[in-house]
Structure 1
Amino acid sequence: MTSICFITYEYPPQIGGEAAYTSGLASALNDMGNDITVITTTSGKSMDISKEGDIRVIRLPKSRVLPKMLSFSIDARKILENGAPGKIDIIHNTSDYNGIIIPGNKKKTPVIATIHHPYAEERRIYRASTSNIEYFKYAIHRKIDYLEYNSKLLCRKSDRLIAVSNYTAKSVTAEYGIQPDKLSIIPNAVDINRFNPDIDGTEIRKKLGIAAEKVILFVGRLDFQKGIEYLISAFSKIVKEFPEAKLIVVGDGPLKNNVRAAINESGLSKSVFLMGRTDTDDLPKIYAACDLFVVPSLMEGFGIVYLEAMASGKACIGANIGGVEDAIVDGHTGLLVPPADSDSIYCAIKKLLSDEDTLARFGKEGRKRVLENFTWKKVAAQTLEVYNKASGSV
């Protein structure tokens, strides 16, 4: 049995890719007989230590003085240095922006880090695509300097790295000077029981007043990176040919007001449903309620949402950039289009909504691909191999 301590800023009931990744991996490794501790955040004013199933969870309060991510990093490091979790064989950072968490490591405990997102690449794309003022606003709101610096620090100080996609691996080695033999590529995974084609989406459709109409679904943060504005533009053309089509948007973010304004300006207020952040229990039902999943990100380290959609038996449309290409197989589980191209998104959506057989085939092939490549059981086994390599090298 291996004693593993996960460090993550986000963990359920919080939602997001980092929370889903840590929870899924921790549960799978626990099922394999390993002892698991998770150090994460809480909205409370004091530290909380509890058992969630067989997993020990230490929740640290967020500072009212220091930036939240910084205060969590400092407090988590203190916990590790003071030995609060007890005997630990492996420290695994699943937040890829927590470089200062790594303790002095006097006990030579191997430190693993999962790198989800190429921040340097995100900065470059945004810088080339926006005005100076818009870039400045983005950099401040996103805290991109902090994220990029700490990701680089984490990569250099960790004993072994896990990249969730080929794209992320190439970015890390190129930008941070990381040797390829220090890094393993292990993809994200998804709960194949929680997300599956047998779930009924009728409840969600009734709640929104949708009957037999074709439904397109977007799940993601409403920011520049996810390309939501290009989907809205494409959808404004789709409704001219499919007047009853609906678009469900799940997520929140800095572009929420811009998205709402674009919807109103395009006369789509009766065709688009902004659901905001949704309860995690409802998410599988929302996937079940759609016919087609579309997230046209301008860049993506991987994108767990594509796996959730494919596991739910839904065809996907994404951009042929970054880690998306590790998830969607063009012409088999969905369609890949050029990034930032609303016309191509429109053509892809039109093609699939007009072809029921292809839509169904992509959904079946997507589910099959997830079962073969992206289960937590398989990913956990691959991760254990990384732990073993790290233990032998420290």
Structure 2
Amino acid sequence: MKFCMILEFFVPYYNGGGERRYYELTKRLVEKGHEVDILTMKIKNTEEHEVQEGINIYHIGPTIENPPQRSKQDFIVYGRAVLKWLHSHNYDIIDAQSYSPLLPATMYSKRVNIPVIGTIYDTSTNNQDQWIQSSSLAYKAEKFLVKRPFTKILTVSRATEKSLVNDFNVDANKIEVNYIGVDLESIDSVKCNKKDNNRVLFVGRLVPHKHVDHLLKIINNLKEKIPGIHLVIVGKGIEKDNLLHYISENSLEDYVEFMQDLSNEELIYQMKLANILALPSTREGFGMVLSEANACHTPTIAYASGGVVEVVDDTKTGYLVEPEDIDTFQEKIEYILNNKNVEEKLGLQGRKNVEEKFNWDNIVLEYINLASKLINCKNMKK
């Protein structure tokens, strides 16, 4: 099969959960003999065409200097470039990641009758829970885009599937769930034979719904109770200046460290070094960093939002906390840091859970079977 995957960014230029999922998925498709073209936005100072592990990556449309920052005009230019590309190339199936790639993909698919998978990771239920600055516009766009004429919608959790049906009136028969796997071989190749002391890790975009400010408040409350407590924040985004302001106001410079643009190996090392991975996010389609941390024998604590509840097995691999309950979140961090036996037990169970539930071999096979079925159905209708 010849796949066209459409997403705004791709690794290594941006290492979000969705981008890394496509990387892990597509390199395995290539290993199994399939062809894959990736269409992404141009990144400053990169080649228009490059090949990673057999994956063809084409940078088209607008030139982005600092991913993921892009303008409304960038979305328009990118959409036009995608349409132009599709009209001059042939594919068996198209897979478009939410949100801006969904429109040109479905427009083209409708004209030429090529099956299109719309990959949607998460949804919002109000216009205050958006991942970009223009929340009101984004909410309206989301309501429109999730109802586009996809052959199938693919999502990564039952929670998002439920939201699409209940909040956006999407036909449940059009939705398939395909979890995000964990590359255990890659994780095990990164050597780290120690755990730091009282080290809390956050990995993700620095945007409002991730609530990194909640972690800063917790660190501020615990800095006297737990000597040497240290928060490492891996990521970048529009909230960074606000976070730095809070750190300065509360004299937390010795307790908080920022990192960004880490390689996958560097990120895994940080996960192995940490005592806890904390994700106080109120909007999360899956929470890939949680399963990866568990694969590193690192316990997780997260707000019980979206697909997170399918990743964290409460009290067994980590803890789930009601969204925005900062006090309980703090209690769980304090409990793990003060009880090394609990940390070790949660870490062992976390690893076992990942091995059983998030195996890439099974997940890729499910994806290939879905794509084959959609292509065969299209051919039968000719």
Report the TM-score when normalising by structure 1.
Answer: 0.86
Structure-1 residue corresponding to 2:371:
387
Deviation at 1:244, TM superposition (A): 1.2
Equivalent pair of 2:41/2:62 in contact (CA under 8 Å): yes
Deviation by residue 1:116-167 (Cα, 9 ceiling, x = unmatched) = 120x3252557xxxxxxxxxxx87x245524652563354221001111111
Deviation by residue 1:188-221 (Cα, 9 ceiling, x = unmatched) = 222222224962177xx9xxxxxx5321101111
2:94 pairs with 1:95: no
Structure-2 residue corresponding to 1:230:
214
Deviation at 1:360, TM superposition (A): 0.9
Deviation at 1:388, TM superposition (A): 2.7
Q: Distance in 2 between matches of 1:241 and 1:365?
A: 28
Structure-1 residue corresponding to 2:187:
195
Of 72, 78, 83, the residue aligned with 1:72 is 78
> Does the residue aligned with 2:231 lie in a helix, a strand or coil?
strand
Q: Distance in 1 between matches of 2:298 and 2:143?
A: 33
Structure-2 residue corresponding to 1:110:
115
Structure-2 residue corresponding to 1:293:
277
C-alpha spacing 1:63/1:273, structure 2 compared with 1 (3 Å)? closer
2:270 pairs with 1:266: no
The amino acid that maps onto 1:194 is: S
Taking only aligned residues, the RMSD between alpha carbons, in angstroms, comes to: 2.4
Equivalent pair of 2:146/2:168 in contact (CA under 8 Å): no
Deviation at 1:6, TM superposition (A): 0.7
> How many aligned positions are there?
369
Q: Distance in 1 between matches of 2:289 and 2:184?
A: 13
The amino acid that maps onto 1:99 is: L
Which range moves more in the overlay, 261-270 or 215-224? 261-270
Q: Distance in 1 between matches of 2:249 and 2:46?
A: 46
Q: Distance in 1 between matches of 2:126 and 2:292?
A: 23
Deviation at 1:279, TM superposition (A): 3.7
Deviation at 1:168, TM superposition (A): 0.9
Structure-2 residue corresponding to 1:130:
none
Which range moves more in the overlay, 49-58 or 141-150? 141-150
Of 131, 141, 157, the residue aligned with 1:149 is 141
C-alpha spacing 1:97/1:177, structure 2 compared with 1 (3 Å)? farther
Structure-2 residue corresponding to 1:208:
none
Structure-2 residue corresponding to 1:160:
152
Structure-2 residue corresponding to 1:54:
54
2:234 pairs with 1:250: yes
Q: Distance in 2 between matches of 1:327 and 1:385?
A: 24
> Does the residue aligned with 1:287 lie in a helix, a strand or coil?
helix
The amino acid that maps onto 1:216 is: V
Structure-1 residue corresponding to 2:10:
11
> Percent same amino acid among aligned pairs?
23
Gaps of at least 5 residues in structure 1 are: 127-137, 206-211
> Does the residue aligned with 1:194 lie in a helix, a strand or coil?
helix
Structure-2 residue corresponding to 1:29:
29
1:309-324 equivalences in 2 (<5 Å)? 309-324=293-308
Which range moves more in the overlay, 157-166 or 64-73? 64-73
Report the TM-score when normalising by structure 2.
Answer: 0.89
2:334 pairs with 1:342: no
The amino acid that maps onto 2:92 is: D
Structure-1 residue corresponding to 2:127:
123
> Does the residue aligned with 1:121 lie in a helix, a strand or coil?
coil
Gaps of at least 5 residues in structure 2 are: 65-70
Of 139, 162, 175, the residue aligned with 2:167 is 175
Q: Distance in 1 between matches of 2:141 and 2:257?
A: 37
Structure-1 residue corresponding to 2:68:
none
The amino acid that maps onto 2:57 is: V
Deviation at 1:115, TM superposition (A): 0.6
